[in-house]
Amino acid sequence: MSSTSTRHFLTLLDLSTEELEQIIQRAIELKEMQHGGTIHEPLKNRVLGMIFEKSSTRTRVSFEAGMAQFGGSAIFLSPRDTQLGRGEPIEDSARVLSSMVDAVMIRTFEHEKVERFAEYSSVPVINALTDDYHPCQLLADVQAYVEHRGSIRGKTVAWIGDGNNMCHSYINAARQFGFRLNIAAPEGYEPKREIADAGGPAITLVSDPVEAVSSADLVVTDVWASMGQEEESDTRNEIFREYQVNEMLMAHANSDALFMHCLPAHRGEEVSSGVIDGPHSVVWDEAENRLHAQKALLEFLIR
């Protein structure tokens, strides 16, 4: 069972604002060290278990490379070739895996699964994306904002599109890092009511994307159909048509506004190539920061 001293990272609310800010600063330092060729192996002989029930490029490579750079290692586990996929209870898997590794990272569907795993795990559990949240991505996004523009506190962020896992994590980030968040989502695709309400007055829901991006310092979007919603793609493409982040929409944001997207992106759908490949976009730094931000998180949770 999880002891009260085992820290998990299932949502951004599991750490304090000070701890999150410390992780962002550490991520910036670790990035400089990595770029400068400094060898830093604080997790020698430590092992990260990585459970992936959904596809991934960035998350898998960043966690695996991060553990290798830290002197440790990572084990990739998919439902196809573990007993988890054959119905072994989460509670049993959590007890066994956590008796062998130093931390477990999970990407899955229901958020409740990572909560249950954490409850029975004796080592830190990291949410690497659920249907409801993607907190690791927010560490990378905030790091990218800080690197390009300084503190995000007091700034205005516009979320355009689906009220999905990334949107929910932006709501939590607004609470923790102290920025305003304007969300423009089509009717019926808004973020979950209880998550948005918990964000308090910093969160504004509108239906008009132009209103959402007005005086925004950062504009963010994500795919219209997330993993697990593939068969809704055609319907969603129709419904979300007015929510594309393109040059016309970006023109309503602040002139020095940044554009972010967690990737993978669909050019011509949620974002135009002119924006994602244009001057406002910092998506490549954002993606690279997954490595540095998660190394800072692993160092914080495991040591």
Q: Which positions are catalytic?
A: 107, 134, 137, 222, 262, 290
Binding pattern for the stretch 113-132 against ligand CP, x by CB under 6 A and - elsewhere: ----------------x---
For position 204 contacting ligand CP by CB under 6 A, the verdict is no
Q: Give the count of beta carbons closer than 10 Å to the beta carbon of residue 60.
A: 17
User: Closer to ligand NVA at the Cβ: 166 or 249?
Assistant: 166
- Return the bridge partners of 51, or none: 77, 106
Strands (DSSP E) found in the chain: 47-52, 73-77, 103-107, 125-127, 156-160, 180-184, 203-206, 218-221, 258-261
Interface stretch with ligand CP, choices 20-28, 52-60, 146-154, 234-242 (CB under 6 A)? 52-60
Q: What ranges make up the beta strands (E) of 167-287?
A: 180-184, 203-206, 218-221, 258-261
Mask for 171-200, x = binds ligand NVA (CB under 6 A): ------------------------------
The two structure tokens encoding residue 18: 């000070």
Exactly one of 108, 127, 164, 289 binds ligand NVA (CB under 6 A); which one? 164
Cβ contacts of 284 within 8 Å, gap of 6 or more: none
With CB under 5 to 8 Å by kind, the binding choice for 166 among ligand CP, ligand NVA, none is ligand NVA
Closest approach, Cβ 58 to ligand CP, in A, equals: 4
Stretch that binds ligand CP, among 19-27, 50-58, 98-106, 244-252 (CB under 6 A): 50-58
Binding segment (CB under 6 A) for ligand NVA, from list 34-42, 163-171, 197-205, 286-294: 163-171
Rule CB under 6 A: choose which of 56, 78, 207, 237 binds ligand CP.
56
Among 34, 59, 130, 221, binds ligand CP (CB under 6 A): 59
| Stretch in the footprint of ligand CP (CB under 6 A) among 4-12, 24-32, 54-62, 192-200 | 54-62
Residue 34's identity, in one-letter code, is Q
Backbone angles phi, psi at 185, to 5 degrees: -135, 145
* 225 Rama sector, left if φ>0, alpha if ψ -120 to 50, beta otherwise: beta
Judged by beta carbon, residue 111 or residue 134, the one nearer ligand NVA is: 134
For position 222 contacting ligand NVA by CB under 6 A, the verdict is yes
| Unique residue bearing structure tokens 């569907």 | 109
Q: Which of 14, 66, 34 is nearest to 295 (CA)?
A: 66
SS3 at position 278 = coil
